[in-house]
Each structure stands twice: as structure tokens, then as C-alpha cells.
A and B are shown apart, each in its own frame.
Chain A
Amino acid sequence: MNMQDKEFDDLFRSKLDAFEMEPTAQVWVNIDAEMDGKKRKNGVFFTLRIAASVIVLLTAGILFIPKKDTVTHHPKNQSAHAHINPPVVKPGNNTPVTVKDEQVAAIAFPVNSTSRVHHTKKPENVPVQKKQVAPEITNAEPVKVNEPPVLIASSEKPAETIKSVVPGIETPLAAKQVNTNETNAINIAPVLASTQTPVTTTAKQAVVKKRGIHNMGNLVNLVMAKVDKRKDKVIEFTDTDDESTITAVNVGPIKIKKEDK
């Protein structure tokens, strides 16, 4: 006896309609838990996202730290700027010819405290004769020294920085004239020659030490300078503060730069 499709379907429907089966107790437990969890779920998800971003940052940090060695090689990169620095510093060295050690110390101070204007002012006050000249120069210094670290690796930049330094050279010239009034003109030349090289090295070391150890932001800046040759680095930090804050981010399409310097 063949069954019609309709009959066949009806047979299944009528028989299965009455089919019941007791679910296991676990089903309600799960429902109960999920109904409670729905509210908490967002919170958990949020904390997970934070945890994930922390892990990403830590991994990035671990990846970059081995490149710390590059910091020691860094002075080579900086040499271009280091050469620019001395003329700015020169006039300060010119007058007290005899007291070389003091000069170096005096020079080291302003370079060290590239960003800290308070410190630079103190050593200026010590040489009484130089009071008038020194403030001008030291004021000029921090600005110039501040710029290079950010631009260190950018190969296109040096041209600009050199230009910016040119007026710096002119100012010392004016300072020299003042100096000649006080001391021998002969002194200037030897001092220029002698101080130039030591000063540059001390300046370099001071700068490197300062930045290398000072804070994490500086370290990242230096590493980025080595790794990323673009004008806008993947990430940039302020190198002025003890606490480093991000000033620029450049991840392909996303480019953020704080222009508050």
C-alpha cells in the first residue's frame, strides 16, 4: 500500500507533535548563567580589550628594547648637528682663556640641560664678565639643541637645520667683538680651535647620555630615528619632560602630530 506524500507528512507530524523529552538540568543552569552574564559580558569584553592593548604595547616594547645598542652608535648620526653646535657655544669659551676646565663645565651645563632653561641660567651668572653675552647665547642654544634630536635621522632635514644655525654663527661674531674689548684678539683663534673639538665631544656625550637614560620616550625616539627614516616617525615622544608624552603618531593612514613645541 503506497502512501501519499500528504499522508506521510501527516503521520510524522501527528506522531512527532506529541514527542516530549525532559532536558538535562544543565540547560537551565546555562540559561540562568547566560541571562546573568549578559550584563557582565560587556565589562569582561572591555577589560579583555584593555588587556589585549597592554599586551600589544609590551610586545612592541620588548621588540624595540634589544635595539638599545643603536643608542651608543647614535653620536655618528648626530655628528652633523654636533658640528653646528660649537659655533654657538664658542663665544662663551672665548673670554676666560686660562680657566679651561671651568669652561667645559660651563658649556656642559647648557648642553646637558638642553631643555631646562632654569639650569642654563645659573651657570651664566657665575662668570660675571660674561653676563651680557652669555644669556643671549644660552637662550639661543636650547632652542637649537632641542630641534636636532627630533630630526636626527631625517636625511632631508640637515639643510634646514644648517640654515637655522647660520644666524647663530652671526650672533657669536657680535659676541666676539665684545670679547676683544676685554681680552686679546689672539686668544680667540686658539681657543676656537682648541675648544671646538673637545666641546663637540662633550656635547655629544652629554646629549647621548642624557637622552639614552633620561626616559623611555627619549629611548624610543632614538630607536625610531634609527629605524624609521621618514620625517614623521611611527611614534614620537617629547624629549623635554621627565615624563615622556607622545607627540606624534604616524601609522600609514593615521597621522597625528601635536604641534605645540
Chain B
Amino acid sequence: MMLLEHKYTTDELVKRCKADERKSQELLYKQFASKMLGVCMRYATDRMEAEDMLQNGFIRVFQKISDYRGDGSFEGWVRRIMVHSSIEYYRKHHKMLQVVDIESAANEPSANAVAAANLDAKDLMILIQQLSPGYRMVFNLYAIEGYSHKEIGEIMGISEGASKSQLSRARTILKEQITRSGGKRYEYAG
């Protein structure tokens, strides 16, 4: 049987995935994989970690797809699962490694807005990936996903105050890096 991708809308694919149809699952995966790897990359130290998160996330998507009732965008639903997969990965692999950066944060570095704007997504991704896992997680959840400090504290098993201070520290480190680079492009190694 030949299945042509363009013949199916996302809704149609979701329906077929609910029936546990492997071919449709693959098509759905192909439709969202690149975008979701982009999400996972922010939570990962490197591409390999990100692909682990992506893999676990998609398995979860297919296991839970019958729970998706169609309220809200499907992409948003998948994305939330990817974030959860990343959190789970962090819990499994990085929680014990929560390193407190000893580097002094005495002077708040003033990031140049132009310099920051000149950096493209890849450069910003490198900067995020260079953060220690704890900082990276807090920054991602707060700045990009829009979680509250209370929620982040619960997810990571830290206090609300610790979440706030880790976010502030993460921002400081990122700004430092941007200023240091002066808008220079990073070579992406991932």
C-alpha cells in the first residue's frame, strides 16, 4: 500500500496513530521530528542527548496519543511531551550533577543588544548548551516555556528562591558570553 504524505492532514494522521498504525506513526514522526529535536536541543548538552530525549518523547507521544482530545494544537501537545521527556532525562542523568558555578557574578555584564541580535539561533543554542544542566533547565523552563518559579521548583525539586537565583545566574552567564563574543559567530560543533 502506498501512502503519500501530503494526502493526510495532521488530524487524519493522529486518528490513524490512535489505531496504532505504524506507517502513520512514522509519517507523523517525520512531520514533527525536526522541530521537536530543536526543542530537545535546548535542554541537551549535545545532539546525542537531544536525540535520546526525542526518541523517548515520541514513544510517549504514540503511547499517549489516545489521550489527545483535539483541544489545543497537536504540535503544542507534542511539544509539551518533549519538554517533559527532557525534564525526565535531566532527572535521570543530571540531577546529581547540579553544579553551582563558582565563577563570581559580582558585576552584571551588560549584554550588547546588537551583539545578541546578531547571533543566530545556532549561536544561542550553543550558549544554552554550554550552561550547566541545572541552569539550562531553569532558563529553558522560565524564559522559553514560560513556567513559573514555583512550577520549576516542583519539577526540579528545588525551592522557588533557588529557581530564581539559578535563572538570574544563567542569564548572567549567557550575557557574559554574548558580550565576550562581541557578536562573533560561534562554530557549531553539534
| A and B form one complex | yes
Residues of A within 8 A of B (CB): 1-3, 5, 7-9, 11-13, 15-24, 26-28, 30-32, 34-35
Report which residue of A8, A30, A31, A35 has the largest number of chain B beta carbons within 10 angstroms of its beta carbon.
A31
Report whether A12 and B113 are in contact in the complex, using a CB–CB cutoff of 8 Å.
no
Interface segment, one of B3-11, B28-36, B97-105? B28-36
Q: Which residues on the B side are within 8 Å of A18 (C-beta)?
A: 38, 121
Q: How many residues of B contact A (CB 8 A)?
A: 41
B59 lies within 8 A of chain A by Cβ: yes
C-alpha gap A8/B113 in the complex (Å) = 8
List 3 A-B pairs, minimum CB-CB distance, nearest first: A9-B143, A19-B38, A20-B34
B127 to chain A, nearest CB (A): 9
Q: Which residues on the B side are within 8 Å of A2 (C-beta)?
A: 110-111
Q: Which residues on the B side are within 8 Å of A28 (C-beta)?
A: 26, 29-30, 33
Closest to B144 in A: A13
**Chain B binding surface, main DSSP class:** helix
Closest to A24 in B: B51
Q: Can you list 11 contacts pairing A with B, beta carbon distance less than 8 Å?
A: A9-B171, A12-B124, A12-B128, A12-B139, A13-B143, A19-B42, A21-B37, A21-B50, A30-B55, A31-B58, A34-B59
Q: Which residues on the B side are within 8 Å of A32 (C-beta)?
A: 22, 26
B19 lies within 8 A of chain A by Cβ: no
B41 lies within 8 A of chain A by Cβ: yes
Closest to A1 in B: B113
